[in-house]
């Protein structure tokens, strides 16, 4: 029988870092090797394999009902910088495992089922998230990513073409045949582990906004410029970040804000930084509260800029509303957990997922399995093989009930 844990270790060899983690950024050689290896694995297991023009990879188990519609499962193949082996990868290999078991046990389904390895979800190379699922659902077009450059200045469109994708490359643009999407994923938090449960049924995914904030001061000599005459972009950015964090704590949970990336220019010990650029990621399960919080945080940023005599510009490059999962599918998953005797709970997701994009296009559900100590986006990410297997069994049964 196909073992999910082995497939995760195998997929983790593509883009493996020395510290046990994985870095597989969109359209890079390790990303391409992983997609090609997955395509080979899908074919080996009897799935019909196809890429779309953005680089999403699908393996298909053709249904007999001739309806032209399909049930989709899977997750993203890209990772964050120095991420773990499970985020995204689990949903893909679990989908492959489920389809292969279903075919072996029950033959061809009535409704077509596909497993997808989305090309991109993390926004780790280019300032654009969910390129895979927004392309597939038609919520984004090439125009939306035209301006996206990686830190080396390479345009997303150019990287896509170099990797062998782009307009017309595979004759598959956005799709309207997907009628249901189910994503299996590691929790990336510690609730299931702390409560000793093995399955989380996601009811809602948080809303998320991301910004790039550019602070313009004045570069000058670190030794000859008295403190009172400085327009230090690093100092101003630090004050902004402190103000953002203090205000976020004042507004209170479940609001969270993260400054995860920061650059100084010219980034030299003896030059007062003339420029500082940082990202801001803000999340809340309530869309209105999220808007209010972002307004308030950006107000603090502008206030600090005035106070410190620097210029600031803010650019929002991601805005995804919180969204509920389909009640019918969620109920089916709960029935399956009861029938299979699993310890489960319903829960929200604080992490962003491709399911968030699909939920406004078709019936969508998400299932979590525990993450050890709640650690994710880290080489230390880990889920016990027994939990991986429980998630696969829930997914397999859900697909059986939906497609056979
Ligand atoms: C995706 O992993 C996110 O929640 O940032
Ligand atoms: Mn992630
Ligand atoms: Mn993920």
Distances (CA, A) of 384 to 220, 336, 377, 381: 53, 21, 17, 10
For residue 351, the ligand 1 atom closest to its alpha carbon is 4
Q: Which residue has the tokens 């829930």?
A: 394
* Cβ–ligand 1 contact at 351 (below 6 Å): yes
Task: State how beta strands 178-186 and 363-369 pair.
Answer: parallel
Ligand 1 nearest-atom number relative to CA 377: 2
Alpha-helix residue ranges (DSSP H) falling in 168-221 = 191-195
Pocket test for ligand 1, best of 122, 132, 256 (most atoms within 8 A of CB): 122
The distance of Cα 310 from the centroid of its chain, to the nearest Å, equals: 34
Distance in Å, CA 297 to ligand 2 centroid: 24
Instruction: Assess whether pLDDT exceeds 70 at residue 38.
Output: yes
pLDDT digits (tens, 9 = 90+) for 201-242: 999 999 999 999 999 999 999 999 999 999 999 999 999 999
**Best probe residue, ligand 1, of 26, 132, 353 (max atoms within 8 Å of C-beta):** 353
CA 72 – ligand 3 centroid, Å: 16
Q: Is 395 left (phi over 0), alpha (psi -120 to 50) or beta?
A: alpha
Which of 88, 352, 357, 371 gets mutated to test ligand 1 (max ligand atoms within 8 A of its CB)? 352
Ligand 1 atom nearest the C-alpha of 283 is 4
Report CA(224)–ligand 3 centroid distance (Å). 48
CB 279 within 8 A of CB 208: no
| % of the chain surpassing 70 pLDDT | 100
> Ligand 2 being an ion, which residues bring their Cβ within 5 A of it?
87
* For ligand 1, mutation pick of 89, 377, 381 (most atoms within 8 Å of CB): 377
Separation of CA 353 and ligand 3 centre (Å): 6
Ligand lying closest to the C-alpha of residue 376 = 2
Q: Which ligand is nearest to the CA of 88?
A: 3
How far apart CA 187 and CA 299 sit, in angstroms, is 33
Q: How far is the CA of 14 from the centre of ligand 1 (A)?
A: 20
What was the pLDDT predicted at 2?
65
Does position 190 have pLDDT exceeding 80, yes or no? yes
Annotate 239-271 with b (16+ C-beta within 10 A) or e (fewer): bbbebbeebbeeeeeebebebeeeebbeeeeee
Check pLDDT > 70 for residue 324.
Answer: yes
The atom of ligand 1 lying closest to the CA of 376 is 2
318 lines ligand 1 (CB under 6 A): no
Q: Residue 372: which pLDDT band, with cuts at 50, 70 and 90?
A: very high
Q: CB of 248 within 8 A of CB of 289? A: no
Ligand 1 neighbourhood includes 352 CB (under 6 angstroms): yes
pLDDT category of residue 1 using cuts at 50, 70 and 90: low
Measured between alpha carbons, how far is 214 from 127 in angstroms, rounded to an integer?
14
Which atom in ligand 1 lies closest to the alpha carbon of residue 188? 2
- Write the pLDDT tens digit of every residue in 90-128: 999 999 999 999 999 999 999 999 999 999 999 999 999
Encoding tokens for residue 317?
A: 């490059």
Q: Report in angstroms the alpha-carbon separations of 144 from 82, 87, 131, 403.
A: 27, 25, 10, 34
Ligand 1 in reach of 122 Cβ (< 6 A):
yes
All structural domains of the chain: 4-206+322-403 (3.40.630.10), 214-318 (3.30.70.360)
> pLDDT category, 3, cuts 50, 70, 90?
confident
């Amino acid at each position: 029988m196909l073992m999910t844990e082995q497939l995760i270790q195998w997929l983790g060899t593509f883009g493996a870092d020395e510290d046990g983690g994985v870095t597989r950024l969109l359209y890079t050689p390790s990303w391409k090797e992983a997609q090609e290896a997955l395509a080979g694995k899908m074919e080996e297991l009897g799935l019909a394999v196809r890429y779309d023009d953005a680089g999403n990879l699908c393996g298909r188990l053709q249904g007999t009902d001739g309806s032209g519609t399909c049930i989709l499962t899977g997750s993203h193949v890209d990772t964050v910088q120095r991420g773990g082996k499970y985020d995204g990868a689990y949903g893909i290999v679990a989908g492959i495992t489920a389809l292969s078991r279903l075919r072996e046990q029950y033959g061809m389904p009535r409704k077509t089922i596909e497993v997808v390895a989305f090309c991109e979800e993390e926004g780790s190379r280019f300032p654009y998230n969910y390129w895979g699922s927004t392309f597939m659902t038609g919520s984004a077009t090439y125009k939306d990513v035209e301006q996206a450059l990686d830190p080396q200045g390479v345009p997303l469109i150019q990287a896509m073409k170099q990797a062998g994708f782009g307009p017309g490359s595979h004759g598959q643009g956005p799709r309207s045949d997907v009628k249901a999407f189910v994503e299996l994923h590691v929790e990336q938090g510690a609730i299931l582990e702390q409560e000793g449960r093995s399955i989380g049924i996601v009811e809602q995914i948080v809303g998320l906004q991301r910004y790039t904030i550019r602070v313009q001061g004045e570069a000058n000599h670190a030794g000859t410029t008295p403190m009172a005459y400085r327009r230090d972009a690093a100092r101003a950015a630090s004050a902004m970040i402190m103000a953002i964090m203090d205000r976020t704590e004042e507004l209170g949970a479940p609001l969270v804000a993260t400054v995860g990336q920061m650059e100084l220019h010219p980034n030299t010990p003896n030059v007062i930084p003339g420029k500082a650029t940082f990202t801001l990621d803000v999340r809340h399960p309530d869309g209105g509260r999220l808007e209010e919080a972002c307004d308030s945080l950006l107000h603090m940023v502008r206030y600090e800029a005035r106070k410190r005599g620097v210029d600031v510009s803010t650019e929002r490059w991601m805005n995804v509303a919180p969204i509920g999962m389909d009640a019918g599918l969620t109920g089916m998953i709960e029935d399956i957990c009861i029938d299979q005797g699993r310890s489960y709970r319903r829960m929200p997701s604080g992490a962003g997922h491709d399911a968030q994009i699909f939920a406004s296009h078709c019936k969508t559900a998400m299932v979590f399995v525990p993450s050890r100590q709640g650690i994710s986006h880290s080489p230390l990410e880990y889920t016990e093989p027994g939990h991986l297997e429980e998630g696969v069994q829930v997914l397999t049964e859900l697909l059986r009930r939906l497609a056979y």
